[in-house]
């Protein structure tokens, strides 16, 4: 998407979107463990900040990263209403420009990683692995081969086997495949093929 479309997307999702189910499950799994760990998280491709706001409400310190300044501005505007806004840090950067991430216990990536070209996707995946502490969790989503956008060469699409390979150092706690025709945030119908995952790093 171009800059104008991203801005429209952020405005739409800010009004109509709930926190992603994969993130909610990851937070719930941490709460069930009742382990005294630092609630440190990174949100990759934070967009309008729906997931970030949920993390802040749940007591997490969050580094929100997005390539679009308009997304960060939208998030900061929303976060002003929270008393815990001081737990939020923001970075404007593309994933391709990031060689490392701070070590945290949760990395969330809701519909952001698929927008990387494959050559950058696998490079950045190694950055994610290094940034996630042992015992930490990844929550996020990927696009499958049957997605309408699969004709695009500037995106990465995966099947179930490829996703499982990505998470060879993890215990998969939640893995759901979803395929349906549905309107996107900009009002266009398309065929979606999505994978949602929560996984705990064991190595």
User: pLDDT, tens digit, for every residue of 97-128?
Assistant: 999 999 999 999 999 999 999 999 999 999 99
Task: Give the residue with greater pLDDT, 142 vs 38.
Answer: 142
Q: pTM score > 0.75 for this model?
A: yes
DSSP string, 82-99: STTGGGEEEEE--GGG-S
* Dist CA 167 CA 128 (whole Å): 11
DSSP string, 21-66: HHHHHHHHHHHHHT-----EEEEET-TT-HHHHHHHHTT-EEEEEE
Res 203: pLDDT: 72
Which residue's structure tokens are 């209403």?
Answer: 81
Q: What is the CATH number of domain 3-10+21-26+36-201?
A: 3.40.50.150
Task: Give whole-number Cα distances, 40 to 27, 78, 79, in Å.
Answer: 12, 20, 17
Q: Based on C-alpha coordinates, what's the Rg of the chain?
A: 16
Q: Hey, what are 62's tokens?
A: 């969050």
């Amino acid at each position: 998407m171009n800059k104008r479309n991203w801005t429209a997307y952020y405005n739409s999702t800010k009004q109509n979107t709930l926190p992603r189910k994969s993130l909610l499950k990851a937070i719930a799994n941490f709460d069930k463990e009742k382990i005294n760990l630092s609630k440190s998280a990174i949100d990759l491709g934070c967009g309008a900040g729906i997931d970030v706001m949920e993390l802040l409400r749940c007591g997490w310190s969050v580094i929100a990263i997005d390539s679009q300044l308009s997304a960060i501005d939208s998030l900061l505007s929303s976060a002003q209403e929270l008393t815990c806004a001081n737990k939020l840090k923001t970075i404007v950067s593309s994933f391709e420009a990031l060689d490392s991430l701070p070590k945290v216990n949760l990395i969330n990536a809701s519909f952001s990683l698929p927008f990387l070209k494959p050559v950058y996707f696998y490079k950045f995946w190694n950055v994610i692995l290094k940034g996630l502490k042992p015992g930490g969790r990844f929550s996020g989503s990927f696009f499958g081969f049957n997605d309408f956008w699969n004709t695009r060469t500037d995106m990465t699409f995966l099947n179930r086997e490829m996703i499982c390979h990505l998470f060879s150092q993890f215990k998969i706690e939640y893995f759901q495949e979803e395929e349906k025709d549905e309107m996107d945030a900009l009002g266009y119908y398309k065929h979606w093929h999505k994978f949602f995952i929560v996984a705990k790093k064991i190595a």
